[in-house]
Amino acid sequence: MIIPTILSIVVMLAAIIGIFRLLLLIKRVTIFEYERGLKYSKGRFTGILEPGQYWYFAYYTTITKIDLRPRIISVSGQEILSADGVTLKVSLATKYEIADPYTAINKIGSYDQAVYMELQLALREIIGKEPIDRLLKQRTNFNHTLQELCAPAVAQFGVKLLSVSIKDIMFPGELKKIFTQVVQAQKEGMAALERARSEDAALRKLANTAKLLENNPNLLYLRLIEALETSPAGYRMVLELPSITKAESSSDPLETKEPASKASASTPSKSSQRRKKS
């Protein structure tokens, strides 16, 4: 009686332990909206899990989560020899995201390092073919060229490039001083040219005004009246007008004087009048 009882107790304990171990192997995983889950059964890939909550038996099932949010990688301090033999330090900022989780995890060991290497190679290929002047003038165009060159290569790793931008182009110390002097000389020349244009425009305006006043003297008086009307209150303005003689004041301002030759011709002389009387 004692032995069967002990055996039944042992069996019950073993069953409880087994059930407990099985419960420990049943796990739950939550995949968020920005994630995807890669499900493996006995080491083999079986599918991609969408966002949600899943229960799985951990004894032969594995679920690996991967983040699909965009990432930013910086390629800094790349020393590259340009086409005209100048050593430059160029840095990049790249934004990318996982487009194919299966390829990014199963086809390559580290997609981050793969993207970094492809950016380095593409940057060296582009910078090595261009002189410094063109690099500085067409900097934004090279961003587009870099993205077009790297996009097919990184697509093999399940990665999609969103943007590629050149952050900095650094020159050696002596060359930096030379470029600074060149830029300063250009700015000074532009400033001198602008001053010359402004002075020329001002002189032209003054010449046109003088010509207009010469043809229409009354405009000067109209401008004077306008200045008096717009002068601020409380200010005194002293005007000095030309003196007017008595003869000029008695004469009609609307009367026009005939030339002396016409006056002499129209008025008969005294000698001719005496001859007629005689």
55-99 tens-digit pLDDT: 988 888 999 999 999 999 988 877 887 887 778 888 889 999 999
Span 190-202, average pLDDT: 80
- Give me the chain's average pLDDT, please: 77
Q: For residue 89, is it within any domain?
A: yes
Neighbours of 98 (CB within 10 A): 20
Do both 135 and 54 map to the same domain? no
Q: For residue 213, is it within any domain?
A: no
* Domain total of the chain: 2
Q: What is the CATH number of the domain that holds 131?
A: 3.30.479.30
Do both 52 and 101 map to the same domain? no
Do both 129 and 57 map to the same domain? no
Position 238 scores a pLDDT of: 61
Residue 162 has pLDDT above 90, yes or no: yes
Burial readout 223-255 (b: 16 or more C-beta within 10 A, e: otherwise): eeeeeeeeeeeeeeeeeeeeeeeeeeeeeeeee
Do both 83 and 169 map to the same domain? yes
Position 233 scores a pLDDT of: 60
Do both 44 and 107 map to the same domain? no
Q: CB of 89 within 8 A of CB of 168?
A: yes
Among 206-210, 264-268, 274-278, name the most confident range.
Answer: 206-210
The C-alpha angle with vertex 137 and arms to 133 and 138, in degrees rounded to 5, equals: 115
Do both 87 and 129 map to the same domain? yes
DSSP the chain: -HHHHHHHHHHHHHHHHHHHHHHHHEEEEEE-TTEEEEEEETTEEEEEEPSEEEEEETTTEEEEEEE-S-EEEEEEEEEEE-TTS-EEEEEEEEEEEES-HHHHHHS-S-HHHHHHHHHHHHHHHHHTTS-HHHHHHTHHHHHHHHHHHHHHHHHTTTEEEEEEEEEEEE--HHHHHHHHHHHHHHHHHHHHHHHHHHHHHHHHHHHHHHHHHHH-THHHHHHHHHHHHHSPTT------PPP--HHHHHS-TT--PPPHHHHHHHSPPHHHHHHHH-
CA atoms of 99 and 250, how far apart (whole Å): 101
Residue 62 CA: distances (Å) to CA of 40, 56, 57, 158: 5, 8, 8, 21
Torsions phi, psi of 34, nearest 5?
A: -90, 10
Summarize pLDDT for 9-68 with one digit per residue, the tens: 777 777 777 777 776 778 889 999 999 999 999 889 999 999 999 998 888 899 999 999
Q: What is the pTM of this model?
A: 0.57
Residue 249 CA: distances (Å) to CA of 41, 253, 256, 259: 121, 8, 14, 20
Do both 57 and 123 map to the same domain? no
Q: CB of 118 within 8 A of CB of 160?
A: no
CA atoms of 1 and 130, how far apart (whole Å): 96
Domain end residue (candidates: 126, 145, 174): 174
- Neighbouring residues of 84: CB distance < 8 A, sequence distance ≥ 6: 131, 132
Q: For residue 259, is it within any domain?
A: no
Residue 263 has pLDDT above 70, yes or no: no
Residue for token pair 């005004």: 209
pLDDT tier, 113 (very low <50, low <70, confident <90, very high otherwise): very high
Domain around 118: 71-174
In terms of Cα–Cα distance, which of 129, 124, 121 is closest to 154?
Answer: 121
Do both 114 and 157 map to the same domain? yes
pLDDT tier, 7 (very low <50, low <70, confident <90, very high otherwise): confident
In terms of Cα–Cα distance, which of 87, 118, 221, 99 is closest to 158?
Answer: 99
